[in-house]
Structure 1
Amino acid sequence: IVPDLTANEVQKAGDAAEGAIGFIGWSLMSEAPGNQTFVKKYQEKYDISPEPWAAQSYATLNILTNAIKIAQSTDATLIRDALAQTTDFPTILGKSGKFSFDPNGDALYDQIIMIVKDGKLRFFE
């Protein structure tokens, strides 16, 4: 079991990666609403496929922008309070694309389970 597994890491590991299972927050192949549009636009702009950090940064910015709109302010306390109310916010993260914060401020979204099969990342079914 590998915490964050990317196609690049699978390629570097070669045969040693076969059968590895990863729980990931984002995948190029995810069908979360808006993900394929994000991937396409990223590839068009940078001429490479996005890595997880790019997708997570994109989602984070959308979550923060939404909190600022809700707070109608740039005051840190008001933004924090708006973030705390984030429930089922649509992002490109996870299997469903829904993002929430729990009462402790921890991020909640459904992880994507991947397995390396025949040298490629595939959804674990």
Structure 2
Amino acid sequence: MEISFTERELDVMGVLWDRGGGTVAEVRERLADDLAYTTVLTVLRTLEEKGYVGHVEKGKAYRYHPLVERQAAGTSVLKRMLHKLFKDSPELLLTHLVSDRGLSDDELRRMRRLLDERMGEEEG
């Protein structure tokens, strides 16, 4: 299943992933944008219709929780981005990442270490 989010849906999912779940009010207060309660509720209902979020009743409120893992969503989003922005070329994506002058030497070293580990797995 390809997982796809709008920007606003991704913001809401980020809150749910970070907290493990929450009511509409709890999600709303943790969002960077000041959205109306009904807007957050609509986003959560849309995510539920898509099968990405579920809920349980807690008194008068619904408590929403993620049904997809952040990792699975990240993989799906990355594949889409790789296809649309980098012509299905991981090399172009990597080139774009490492040419970003905002990366620190430590971040670059960690990336190199990850690549070296991956290369070691394939050789061994």
TM-score by length of 2: 0.31
> Which of the pair is proportionally richer in strand?
1
> Which of the pair is proportionally richer in helix?
2
TM-score by length of 1: 0.31
Of structures 1 and 2, the one scoring higher in RCO (CA 8 A, sep 6+) is: 1
